[in-house]
Amino acid sequence: MSSLFPHRHLTGIHGLQPHEILFLLDEAEQWIALNRTTSKHDDRLSGLTLINAFFENSTRTLLSFEIAGKRLGADVVNMAVGQSSVKKGETLIDTAVTLNAMRADMIVIRHQSSGAVQLIADKVDCPVLNAGDGRHEHPTQALLDALTIRRRKGGIAGLTVAICGDILHSRVARSNILALTALGAEVRVVAPPTLMPAAIERLGALPFSNFDAGLDGADVVMMLRLQNERMDGAYLPSPREFHALYGLTPERLERAAPDALVMHPGPMNRGVEITSNVADHPTRSAITEQVEMGVAVRMACLDVLTRKRRGVEGWA
């Protein structure tokens, strides 16, 4: 296995060296270019079977992985397991064993339980890619965010990135904190105390409960999606109060650096964590670009993780 990326699976940003993260970002660049041509096709994964096993509902991420696999020529099979049908873990191991027996060449997994992807990775022979497990990690989201920032800002080291919203329940926040701090950014996390995880500073992030203070001078403002079920009084009094205290409006954005970039992993709750005029801002918002980078980053991950299996020189 090449020393450029000596990992069998991609279960998280945790465990990756900064140069390995940069390697994946560099690899993604070529796919951005390809995706902008009309043919958009490469055959390097031809004959390989990619299974997208999504135990938690998802439209965008599933679609992004499907497109990424198809553009590289893989046979893509989607296994969408609704939240209600398969929930028990015994079935999870059984499913892993079943997918393995079908000789998948790569399995992409999303699951509602933290650590579930690692559990499957330990049971199968092929590379496993984490597409989000509980509130643990969502590594390709962090990679696509890093790529977006790098392309828009020319680099990541030295930038101040404010990640705002429901940090407690967010795998996007965890993966981004790990990736962006590894690449030299100063990461702030902004959340009401009820949605701030304990000891978050031990991960290298600077916690803020005041939105304005957290935004002050930030080069990148990354808003997180607030799940509807968090707004029913247990964590937050109401959507409108959250919007008043933590919603990103044009006025609020003034606190950030003059050329601050606005990001959101989607899907957005317009009018709650972010207003439409910020989300749709022609120059400040990078939200649609994030989606584009997502496909490229996932193509890079699928390519790199299957190199050993495909016998690519220097990787076998």
Binding of other proteins at residue 171 (CB under 8 A)? yes
Under the criterion CB under 8 A, does residue 174 sit at the interface with other proteins?
Answer: yes
Q: Which parts of 125-154 interact with other proteins (CB under 8 A)? A: 133-137
Q: How far is CA 11 from CA 21, 36, 305, in A?
A: 13, 29, 12
Which one of 43, 198, 233, 282 is in contact with other proteins (CB under 8 A)?
A: 198
**Interface region with other proteins, contact rule CB under 8 A, candidates 21-29, 36-44, 86-94, 307-315:** 86-94
Closer of 111 and 298 to other proteins (Cβ): 111
According to the binding rule CB under 8 A, does residue 202 interact with other proteins? yes
Given the rule CB under 8 A, which of 36-44, 114-122, 209-217, 295-303 is the region that contacts other proteins? 114-122
From candidates 89, 184, 250, 314, binder to other proteins by CB under 8 A: 89
Return the range that interacts with other proteins (CB under 8 A); candidates 23-31, 36-44, 89-97, 219-227. Answer: 89-97
Decide whether 77 or 93 has the Cβ nearer to other proteins: 93
Name the segment binding other proteins (CB under 8 A); options: 63-71, 193-201, 222-230, 275-283.
193-201
Q: At what angle do helices 287-305 and 139-153 cross, to 10 degrees?
A: 120
Does position 263 bind other proteins by CB under 8 A?
Answer: no
Amino acid at 4: L
* Helix 60-71 and helix 18-35, axial crossing angle in degrees, nearest 10: 80
Q: Are strands 220-223 and 160-164 parallel, antiparallel or unpaired?
A: parallel
Q: Is residue 90 close enough to count as binding other proteins by CB under 8 A? A: yes
Alpha-carbon torsion (156, 157, 162, 166), positive or negative: positive
Query: How many helices (H) and strands (E) would you count in the chain?
Result: 12, 9
Q: Which amino acid is at 76?
A: V
Strands 220-223 and 128-133: unpaired
User: To the nearest whole angstrom, how small is the minimum distance from the Cβ of residue 174 to other proteins?
Assistant: 6
SS3 of residue 106 by DSSP: strand
| Shortest Cβ 227–other proteins spacing (Å) | 14
Q: Does 197 bind other proteins (CB under 8 A)?
A: yes
Crossing angle (nearest 10°) for helices 171-182 and 18-35: 110
Q: How many residues bind other proteins (CB under 8 A)?
A: 26
DSSP secondary structure letters along 46-70:
TT-EEEEEESS--SHHHHHHHHHHH
- Residue 282, classed as helix, strand or coil, is coil
103/202 with CB nearer other proteins: 202
Judged by the rule CB under 8 A, the positions of this chain that interact with other proteins are 14, 88-90, 92-93, 111, 113-116, 118-119, 133-137, 171, 174, 197-200, 202-203
